[in-house]
Structure 1
């Protein structure tokens, strides 16, 4: 499958996630979507990312800001339902709040992050 085809699937999944978030009372704004090489290197240097080969660089990842009752939150338990929904949309989808897919908050936790693996 070509990268552009993956990006189309990813974009449609993001649209479904946004609609679902609205249905369950979570408002979203975009954080990072595409990242260039310089930005990705800075994020790794600051410990905000673990890899230089981020899927953000391929337009297969997005970070969101979450608002519940008008209050910004990145709390794992507040966002967990969105993460679970994301996983149902495509077998290659992965949520940063649960990279190891064990449904608990452990390891490197990046709740704003939603990606589609290659």
Structure 2
């Protein structure tokens, strides 16, 4: 499968996640989808990331802003969304399960 095909499948699953979140009473706004290698270096240097090989570099990850009742949700509040995301494909990973740096708003496709 080509990268473009993985990116398209990722976004189709993302549409399903956003619709599911909306149906569950969450409000979802967009965060960061693509990032440059230079920006990734800055994130590592400032502790916002632990890797230079982020899926954002390949447009296979997105950070979403997820709200309920006007308040930004915690990683624990959106865990059911992480479960749903991972149920859509065995390649989908939710950042709330990362062991080194919990990243609740992060949803990615691991190819």
**TM-score computed with the length of structure 2 as normaliser:** 0.96
Question: Pairwise CA RMSD of aligned residues?
Answer: 1.0
Aligned length: 111
Long gaps (5+) in structure 2: none
* Counterpart pick for 1:115 among 94, 105, 108: 108
- 2:10 is aligned to 10
How do 1:1-118 residues align onto structure 2 when only pairs under 5 Å count? 1-73=1-73, 75-99=74-98, 107-118=100-111
Provide the C-alpha distance between the structure 2 equivalents of 1:107 and 1:54, rounded to a whole number of angstroms.
14
Provide the C-alpha distance between the structure 1 equivalents of 2:100 and 2:38, rounded to a whole number of angstroms.
26
**TM-score computed with the length of structure 1 as normaliser:** 0.90
User: How far off is 1:107 after superposition?
Assistant: 3.9
User: How far off is 1:38 after superposition?
Assistant: 1.2
Provide the C-alpha distance between the structure 2 equivalents of 1:29 and 1:49, rounded to a whole number of angstroms.
21
Long gaps (5+) in structure 1: 100-105
Provide the C-alpha distance between the structure 2 equivalents of 1:22 and 1:51, rounded to a whole number of angstroms.
31
Q: Secondary structure at the match of 1:76?
A: coil
In the TM superposition, structure 1's runs of 4+ consecutive aligned residues that sit over 2 Å from their partners are none
1:21-56 per-position Cα deviation (integer Å, ceiling 9, x unaligned): 000011111111100111111111111111111100
